[in-house]
Amino acid sequence: MLANHVLFIDGEALVLDKPAGLPVDPPRDGALSLENHLEGLTFGFKRWPQAVHRLDRDTSGCLLLSRNPKAHARLQQAFEQGLVEKRYLAVLEGVPAGEEGMIDLALAKISSREEGWRMRGDPAGKAARTAWRVLSVKDGRALVEFRPETGRTHQIRVHAAEALGVAVVGDPVYGTGGTPMLLHAAALTVPRAGKEPITAEAPVPAHFIAAGFGVA
């Protein structure tokens, strides 16, 4: 039950620790998505909550949902204005050069009949910035903290693969795939005018621990 995955709740919003493998939007393959669970996340309200942003299907961790339309508009504005602090953890297939830095690589969507769609670095694309820092190295892999300043589709995954030269472990599009993808939305802070900010931290998931990266 996703009701057991709630990290934060008040009258305006809730933050869910989304399991890896659960799509936010209904997928084309007909699999269950977040929509199938919204009725169980009302917590006494008549209105179903609504996702304010998106996480990739195979990304686990902090997902913000609004509990009423006015709150939804305000929370979306916070994302659009770049006011939301997001912290991600990822295990990379190798070890990047250096210990920390800022990736400034604009992204654009490309599509082909053979490969479907994906994102790639493109100077003519939309601006995308991600701060990164290596937390630990084990068995030739690095645990890296990412703090995106923008919220482009697949931003961390492309920045890791193209800018750092080492893809996220298990990434089926930009890496070698074959195992669970090790990308986790670990923390979220959303400022609110006249109110305490929304803050949430999602524990390191089991698939990180199984890969030997249980401590952030």
Rg (CA), the chain: 17
Contact between 168 and 93 under an 8 Å Cβ cutoff? The reply is yes
| Active-site residue identified among 17, 56, 58, 171 | 56
The two three-digit tokens of residue 59, written as one number: 């990304």
Give me the amino acid identity at 15: V
- Would you say 10 and 192 are in contact if contact means Cβ atoms under 8 Å apart? no
Annotation says 171 is catalytic: no
Residue 109, φ and ψ in degrees, nearest 5? -90, 135
In the chain, what's the furthest Cα-to-Cα distance? 51
Residue positions annotated with a catalytic role: 56
